[in-house]
Amino acid sequence: MKIQIQHILAQGVALAYRKEAREFPVLKQLEDEGQCQFTDPIVIELAAVAERDLVSVSGHFGTTVQLDCSRCLETFPLLMQRRFTLRFSREIPADLHAGRSEEVELTADAIGLVYFKGEEIDLKTAMQEQVVLALPLKPLCREDCKGLCPHCGTDLNVATCACGGATASNPFAVLKNRSWPSR
């Protein structure tokens, strides 16, 4: 997944990739740890355009991943699709410092750049990062998932539990009737 700088024409270059998730180290680690399972290859389509000292890469990817619902623990498929735009540079562009008398240290993150060396851009790390960013922090099988009963563990999406919706004991309930000194 590399772009040769000399192959980026004035109008840009279009590229397409179809990669297995296990080809990306972090995605392989996620699968090995059981956090998710990629069931389809990752399909990536992108366009690279030279912009002065920068290379702009925009595109999208799609794949299907099996996740465990954070409420009911059921495994469900999630179709992930994401658009992205990345800017690559060999160094911080000179015009960012124009008009400033004091020294300013700019990081790649602060200005949204990904640095590269040499005459090619390796997209593997950047694409891996885009897939990880698209994974939900709290996966839900559906938006209205009722989850599990905190007492008996019944999946409330498929059955009503024998607990009848009793509320869990609150360790702070003892504080409810306590009188507090006034200030």
My answer on whether 65 and 122 are in the same domain is yes
Residue 165 structural domain: 146-183
Residue 64 phi, psi (nearest 5): -120, 135
My answer on whether 115 and 164 are in the same domain is no
Cβ(40)–Cβ(28) below 8 Å: no
Find the largest Cα–Cα distance for the chain: 76
Q: Quote the Cα angle for 146-37-78, to 5°.
A: 50
Look-up: residue for tokens 């495994």? 75
Look-up: residue for tokens 């099988």? 141
Q: Tens digits of per-residue pLDDT, 132-156?
A: 999 999 999 999 999 888 888 888 8
Where in the chain does DSSP place strands (E)?
A: 2-4, 13-19, 37-38, 42-51, 54-68, 75-89, 113-115, 120-122
My answer on whether 53 and 133 are in the same domain is yes
What's the pTM? 0.73
Q: Tens digits of per-residue pLDDT, 30-89?
A: 999 999 999 999 999 999 998 877 888 999 999 999 999 999 999 999 999 999 998 888
My answer on whether 22 and 95 are in the same domain is yes
Cβ(123)–Cβ(2) below 8 Å: yes
Cβ(47)–Cβ(16) below 8 Å: no
**pLDDT interval class at 5 (50, 70, 90):** confident
My answer on whether 97 and 21 are in the same domain is yes
Q: Which two tokens stand for residue 35?
A: 């956090």
Look-up: residue for tokens 């300013």? 104
Q: Which two tokens stand for residue 66?
A: 């099996």
Is residue 177's pLDDT more than 80? no
My answer on whether 41 and 89 are in the same domain is yes
* Alpha-carbon span 72 to 133, nearest angstrom: 23
